[in-house]
Each structure stands twice: as C-alpha cells, then as structure tokens.
A and B are shown apart, each in its own frame.
Chain A
Amino acid sequence: MLVIGVESSCDETAVALYDSEQGLVGHLVHSQIDLHAAYGGVVPELASRDHIQRLIPLLRQLLNDSGHTLSQIGGVAYTSGPGLAGALLTGAVYARALAWALEVPALAVHHMEGHLLAPMLESNTPQPPFVCLLVSGGHSQLIRVDAIGAYTFLGDTLDDAAGEAFDKTAKVLGLPYPGGPHLSRLAENGDATAFDLPRPMTDRAGLDFSFSGLKTAVMTTWNRLSQQPMSDAELDKLRADLAASFQAAIVDTLRIKCERALRQEGLDCLVISGGVSANRHLRTSFDEHFSNTTISAGSTGGASTVDVVYPSLEFCTDNAAMIALVGSLRLTAGEQSGSDITVRPRWPLSELCCPGANA
C-alpha cells in the first residue's frame, strides 16, 4: 500500500510517500523558520496561514519527483496531535478530504508515535522492548515501548521541554531565533566546565525532568557577569562558556535519567528521537557513556552494554516520513479514522493501542 503522510503540527509543512512493502519512497519538508524569525518564536496563526499555501505544491512536487500519481495511493496518514490546534487542523482537513475524495482509508496519527518509530525508517530498527527518550521543543519524555502501540510513561518534564530550555536560554544569551541550534554551535567553542550548573532532579528518585531552573541559573549568571566591564572577546568567551556549560548540564541530566530508566526497567536498548536528538554533543556523550555501561537485562540476567539508537538527522526533526510510516503500519493492520475530522492539541501517547486493536 502506498501511503501519503502529511505533517503540519507546528512550523514545518511536510509530505511523504511510504510504501508498506518497500519502505520510504520520498519526503519533503518546508521549514517556516524564516517566517517566524522576526517574531522571536512561532506565531501560531502565521504557521497555519503558511501551511495552507504549501500543502498542495509540496505533494505535487513529491509525486512528480517520485514518478507516482494520486491514482496509486492506497491511504492517507496525517498528524492529528499533539501540536498547535490551527496548524494541525489545516493539515488534517486537507489530508482527510484528500483521502475522502480518493476513496481510500485515512489515519489520524500521533505525532510523538511518529518520532518514537522514526528509527524504523532506516535499517537499524530497534526491537521492543526498549526505552525511548523523546526530546524536542515541546517534549521531554521517557517511555517504555513493549510493542508498537504499547507505550508506558516513565517520566516527563514538569515544566520546560529540553528543546524549549535550549531556545529560552539562547534568548537569554542574546542569540537569534531559533536559539537551540545557535546555542549548540556556540557551545562547541566554549568550556563546558567553566560553570558548575545544576543537573536538575538527578539527586532524587524518579524519572521526571525539570529544566526551567537551569535556564534561570544561566540567566542569573549571565546577568551578573555580563554587566562587568570586559572586552568583546571576553564577553564572547563568557557566552560560549555558559552555552557549553548549559548544554553539558542538559545532556548529563538526560543521560542520567535514561540510565536510571534502563536499570529500573531492566532493558538494554535506548532509542532517542525528536529534534534535540540531533544535538551533536548529546550523541557523543551518550555514545561514550553507554558503550562503557552494562545493564542486567532480560530474563537471563546477563549483563550487556547498552545499544543507543538514533534516527538519522533528517528524521529527528519534524517530518512526514515518520507520519506515513505510522500510517502504513496501522492502515495495513486494518485501522482507519472516520470522516469526522478532529485534532487533539493535547494527546497522551499512553492512550494509543497496538495497530489493529481498534480496527
């Protein structure tokens, strides 16, 4: 079955074609970063206005590039949550109406399940059970995956998501929008040991995160030190050192909680997905640490090192390939969504069922 995927939950418009037999045929992403830059953040109404101008041109281009026609389409999958209500609705109504008119089944997809299963777009497919860390601008969640659709929440952020903390801290340091990637680049030139920032909530039991205090710690330090007389070069160094120290604190915190989750669950496979999983320091740090970490996993009780799996960079950030993939898995299991279109800006992942359970 050839499945169209449509993603419009935030500031990326994306379409994809996924073949249930052959895998991903192609995908395209239009990022709205430039549109929102002048506003210092995503303006939901502008995001929706842009989505509706991009959806058809992107799909036409994808069909053209891949040599396919709409008559070959067997299903349409679209993100119906979580995300910005207006942005979601634009893509959902378009995609559901497209499926309705093509007279093919449609499926409303959970955006985070897309991120969670994104590694399956490639050959390094992890086998459940595993622990997944979902880290993006909107989420910082630890999830136990026993099967596709069988998700147990292990931990969540109590305030800011990790990516949000990156963006807000970048703003504190005067970096342009979107701050996260700018901050990471700056951190490469900084000394991560220059400032001893907290590793929030690692000194107590549990798998929840809290990152807003870390952002405040950076702000306090920055406001105190940047007021002192210093040369431009010294100010640049201060900024880079703070960025590096902040990034190290976030990554350490995420890594400590991931290890705690693996030990608690007795699992030796960790999947990291979502926009923040593209962070280079995160990947280096996790790889170094977990290649030397053994966990007692499985019924045999034998100790093994931890497999850490990331999607490739293009599938870390928002895309429609992951939506088409989930759509394909669930549509071929007989699931479909009705023609009464609803979006769910808030939608707990734990409400999902295994593919076909609701068919």
Chain B
Amino acid sequence: MNILALETATDNCSVAVAAGNDWRMENSCEPRAQSQVLLPTIDRLLADTGLSKSQLDGVAFGCGPGSFTGLRVAAAATQGIALALDVPVVGVSTLAAVAHQQFRTRNIHLCIAALDARMSEVYWGVYQTLQAGSTQLIAEEAVAAPDTVLWPDVIDDNNSSDVALAGSGSDMLLHLTGSDQRSVVVDAGVLPEALDTLALALPVFERGEAQPAEEARPVYLRNKVALTEQERAAKRDAGTVKP
C-alpha cells in the first residue's frame, strides 16, 4: 500500500510516505512553522519515492494528544488531501507513536509515553509493543497533574525487562523512576515521528478499517478549555476568581 502519514502534535513537523516497502520520512523542527513546511515536505517525499498523489491509498495522521493547533494542522491537511483524493484516513495516537518509536529505535517493549500538556499537566499512557506495527494501550490515555500519576500496576504484570519513560512530559514523571526494581530508561528529548504513525496505521488500512476523510479529527484529551459565564460566576462567589 501507498500511505502518507503526518504527525504534527509537537514542534516536530514529521511526514512519512510508504511507497510499498519503500518507507521514507522527513522531520523539521521549527516552532510554529508546521503549516509552512508541511505540503512542500510531502512534495519532496513523493518525488523521492516516485509516487504521484493519485497513487496514494490513504492518509494517516497523528490525532494527539498534543498542541491543539498542531493537531488541527495534521487533521485539517489530512481532511483536505483525503477528500480530494477520495481515500480513507486513520488516526494514530501521538503517545502510541512515541511508544512505538522506543520499540523501533531501542527495542524497548514497554513504554510510559508522556507529553507536556502545559498548565502543569501531562498527557500520558502506557503501551506495549510486541512487534512492529502493533502498539497496544495497556493503561488509559489521560491528562493529569503529574503528582497524581502513580506507577502503573499493569507494568508489573508484564514480563519484560526495560521500561521506557519517553516524551517531553517525562521530566514531569521522574518520580516514577527509582521507586521500582525495574530499570526505567528516560528519554525526554524524543519527539513523535510520522514513521511510527505510518507503522501503526498500516495494519488498520490493510484490515479495511480506515475511515472517511471527515473523521480525521483531533483527540485533545483536555476537553474543558474555558469556563461558562455560570461557572465563572460560581467561582467568583466562592472567592477563587477575582471579578
């Protein structure tokens, strides 16, 4: 299959193209420039692989969590491209992509993926990758205050040696290291990459479970982004917010 994959949940604007077995990726990490570099990057990768747009069979995108704006860049581009080419889409968790990357680059099967969610919170989830292209969520994806995140018991049930703590939110979860007999490998500098988005989306495309273009939507995890007038009034009455 020929698949285009986009992952822009962080500052990394990552694009990958699979032309059959020829997989290529390009990353560019320039803050707030994703929308400028995205389409030119796709053009280069298609040229490199010799694919034309019409030969694409689907578009995979990193659906989050991550930067709200970044998520919409990938989702909006995916929508436009998939609609025009009349191909289906697959959304891949950005946290799962981080976990798959730990498997792909370091052969670590268990990963606590964590991304800085700002506002003193972290997006996190626990994943197991037993083989390429198959990363399973084994504890719920969530947005949480770091000090409420406890060592996931589910990891102790698994028979594996190393655990990776990976992603920009790793520094917020360092209390998870050292508390356990397991060796925790911290990789705070890692950025999600579209090669993993591609790897995780491909089986979904192959199973025929991809979705129509309009289903390319971000998964924000943080769903409360503003207070209604009623809630503001209630907070004022409680003395927690100054008028």
Contacts and interface: CB of A to CB of B under 8 A. Distances in A.
Contact of B83 (A39, A56, A86): A56
B75 to A, nearest CB: 6
A101 B38 CA distance: 13
Contacts of A45: 68, 225-226
Classify the secondary structure of B's interface with A: helix
Contact of B84 (A52, A57, A93, A98): A98
A46 B80 CA distance: 21
Interface string B67-97: 0110011011111110111000000000000
Contacts of B68: 45, 48-49, 86
A56 B85 CA distance: 13
Contacts of B229: 38-40
A350 interface: no
Interface string A53-95: 1011101100000000010000000000000011001111111
A341 B230 CA distance: 38
Contacts of A144: none
Interface string A327-342: 0000000000001111
Nearest to A343: B35
A100 interface: yes
B36 A94 contact: no
B80 A89 contact: no
Most buried by B among A45, A98, A99: A98
Given A48-B72, A52-B75, A56-B213, A93 B80 contact: yes
Nearest to B225: A45
Most buried by B among A38, A46, A95, A342: A38
A98 B83 contact: yes
Contacts of B38: 93, 97, 341
Given A46-B226, A86-B69, A93-B72, A70 B79 contact: no
B225 A341 contact: no
| A: contact size bracket | 35 or more
A193 B69 CA distance: 49
Contact of A93 (B43, B53, B73, B227): B73
A314 interface: no
Contacts of A96: 39, 80
B109 interface: no
A36 to B, nearest CB: 9
A90 B34 CA distance: 12
A146 interface: no
A172 interface: no
Contact of A89 (B73, B79, B218): B73
A43 interface: yes
A21 B4 CA distance: 36
Contacts of A43: 225-226
Contacts of A98: 80-81, 83-84
22 contacts: A52-B75, A52-B76, A52-B218, A53-B214, A53-B217, A56-B79, A56-B214, A86-B69, A89-B69, A89-B73, A89-B76, A90-B72, A90-B76, A93-B72, A96-B80, A97-B76, A97-B77, A98-B84, A100-B80, A102-B84, A340-B37, A343-B35
Interface of B: 35-40, 42-43, 53, 68-69, 72-73, 75-81, 83-85, 213-214, 217-218, 220, 225-230
The 8 closest A-B pairs by CB, nearest first: A97-B80, A101-B84, A98-B80, A339-B39, A56-B214, A93-B76, A94-B76, A341-B35
